[in-house]
Amino acid sequence: MPVKGMEEQSKEQIEQVSEELFERLTLVVDKGQEPLRIDKFLLSRVVNTSRNKIQQSIDNELVLVNDRPVKSNYKVKPGDSIIFYSDNDPQTYEVVPENLPLNIVFEDEHVLVIDKPAGLVVHPGAGNFTGTLLNGVAGYLKQQQPDLDETKLPRFGMVHRIDKNTSGLMVLAKSELAAFKLAKQFFDHTVERKYLALVWGNFETNSGTIVGNIGRHARFRKLMDVYPEGDYGKEAITHYMVLEDLKYVSLVECKLETGRTHQIRVHMQHIGHPLFNDDIYGGDKIVKGTVFSKYKQFVENCFTLCNRQALHAQTLGFIHPKSEKPMKFESELPTDMQNVIQKWRGYAAGLQSTDKS
C-alpha cells in the first residue's frame, strides 16, 4: 500500500510493513498540514485504496490517531501520528461457492475455525480456480445465508493462510468487524500459533529463536529465502523447542511471532534443519544419516507414509472479535505425521539398543 507523493517523505515519516493479508501504514502529519478530515487525508495520501475501504477501517476502529480510534470527521493536525490498517490482499480471483467437506471445529456468528487437511489449497489462484478451502467456505456460508452479499466479506473472511501441504487450524471471519479485528491481532503478533514439525538433524540446544528477514529468492522467484542482514524482505521471527530427538530427525514445536510466507520451512532450512519431505526446501532427500541401502529404503518408506512436508498447525489462540474473550484450539496430529514419527521412534530405539549391546 504505497503512499502518494513519495518525494514528500521529508515531510512525513512513513513506515510500511505488511503482515499476512493485511497491511499497516504509519504516517506522521507534517508541520504545514491544514486541518483536514481523516478520511480525506488518507484518500489523498494512500494509493490502491478507496473511500469505502478507508471508511471500513474507520468504522472498525482500525484508523488510530495518536494511538486512539477516531471518527471520519476527525481533522488531522500537524504532528498527529496516524496508523491505518487495511485489507491488502492482491488476489482478485473469483471465489465460486462449492459444496465441499469442511472440518469445522468451532463456529458462531462471527468466526469459523477450520482444521484444514494437507493437500487442500486455501484460496483460488493460478492453476487452482476451484476446489479450494475458500470455495467450500463460500458454499457453506451461502447455504446458511442465501442472500449473503459476498462483497461484504474480504475473500470470505480469510485473514491468514497456511500452505497447501501443511495441515491444521485456520480461523476465518463471518463479518466485516471480525475480519478487521482478527487481522489486527495477526498484524500485532498477539495470535498464538504453534506448529509441530518433523525436521532433519539434531539440535545442539533444546530451544532457540531464528531471526532473519524473509523475501523472494534472488533467482527462483517462487521460493522464499532468508536475508539475515540488510533491509530486503520482511522481519520474521520463529521460536522453536525440541520435543524429541529421533536420531537423524527431530520433532520440534515452532511458535510463530510473525507470519511470513513459508516462514517455518525457510527458517528451518536456513539453520540446517529442513522439514522432513519438504520438496521445495531440500527435505525430500537424505539430509542426515548413513548411505547404506537399508537406511535409504527406510527413509523412502517414511517419505511414502508422509508424502508432504511434515508440518502441522496444532495450536491457534486469539481474542474473540466480539466478546473479547480469549479462545484457544488444539488440533490432533494427522495420521500421516503420527505414522512417520512412530516409525522414526522405532528406528531410533533400535539404534539405541544396538549401541548398548
Parse the chain into domains and list their residue ranges. Answer: 6-87, 104-187, 192-356
Is 178:107 a contact under the CB 8 Å cutoff? Answer: no
pLDDT average, residue stretch 249-264: 94
Residue-level pLDDT at 16? 28
Do the first three CATH levels of 104-187 and 192-356 match, i.e. the same topology? yes
**pLDDT tens digits along 257-285:** 988 889 999 999 999 999 999 999 999 99
Q: Please tell me whether residue 49 adopts helix, strand or coil conformation.
A: coil
Active-site pick, 115, 163, 278, 336: 163
**pLDDT tens digits along 304-352:** 999 999 999 999 999 999 999 999 999 999 999 999 999 999 999 888 6
Q: Left (φ > 0), alpha (ψ -120 to 50) or beta: where does 128 sit?
A: beta
C-alpha cell at 46: 494512500
What is the C-alpha R_g of the chain?
Answer: 23
Note if 245 is an active site residue: no
Q: Which CATH superfamily is domain 104-187 in?
A: Pseudouridine synthase (3.30.2350.10)
Q: What is the CATH number of domain 192-356?
A: 3.30.2350.10
**pLDDT tens digits along 215-229:** 887 777 678 889 887
Q: Please tell me whether residue 184 adopts helix, strand or coil conformation.
A: helix
Which stretches of 21-123 are assigned E, i.e. beta strand?
22-28, 36-37, 63-65, 68-69, 75-76, 81-87, 104-107, 111-116
Q: Is the pLDDT of residue 15 over 50?
A: no
**pLDDT tens digits along 26-63:** 888 988 888 999 999 988 887 667 788 788 788 877 78
Which of 9-18, 220-229, 288-297 shows the lowest per-residue confidence on average (mean pLDDT)?
9-18
Q: Is the pLDDT of residue 302 over 90?
A: yes
Q: Please tell me whether residue 146 adopts helix, strand or coil conformation.
A: coil
Pairing of strands 311-319, 167-173: parallel
- Length, in residues, of the chain: 357
pLDDT average, residue stretch 158-162: 88
Is 200:288 a contact under the CB 8 Å cutoff? Answer: yes
pLDDT average, residue stretch 275-299: 93
Residue-level pLDDT at 346? 95
As a whole number, the mean pLDDT across the chain is 85
Maximum average pLDDT range among 36-40, 232-236, 288-292: 36-40
CATH architecture, range 6-87: Roll (3.10)
What is the distance between the alpha carbons of residues 155 and 157, in angstroms, rounded to a whole number?
Answer: 6
Q: Regarding predicted confidence, which is higher, 9 or 137?
A: 137
Q: Of the candidates 36, 30, 35, 84, which has an alpha carbon nearest to the alpha carbon of residue 57?
A: 84
Q: Of the candidates 184, 92, 85, 101, which has an alpha carbon nearest to the alpha carbon of residue 139?
A: 101
Question: Which residue bears the cell 471518527?
Answer: 71
H or E stretch at 64: strand 63-65
Residue-level pLDDT at 301? 97
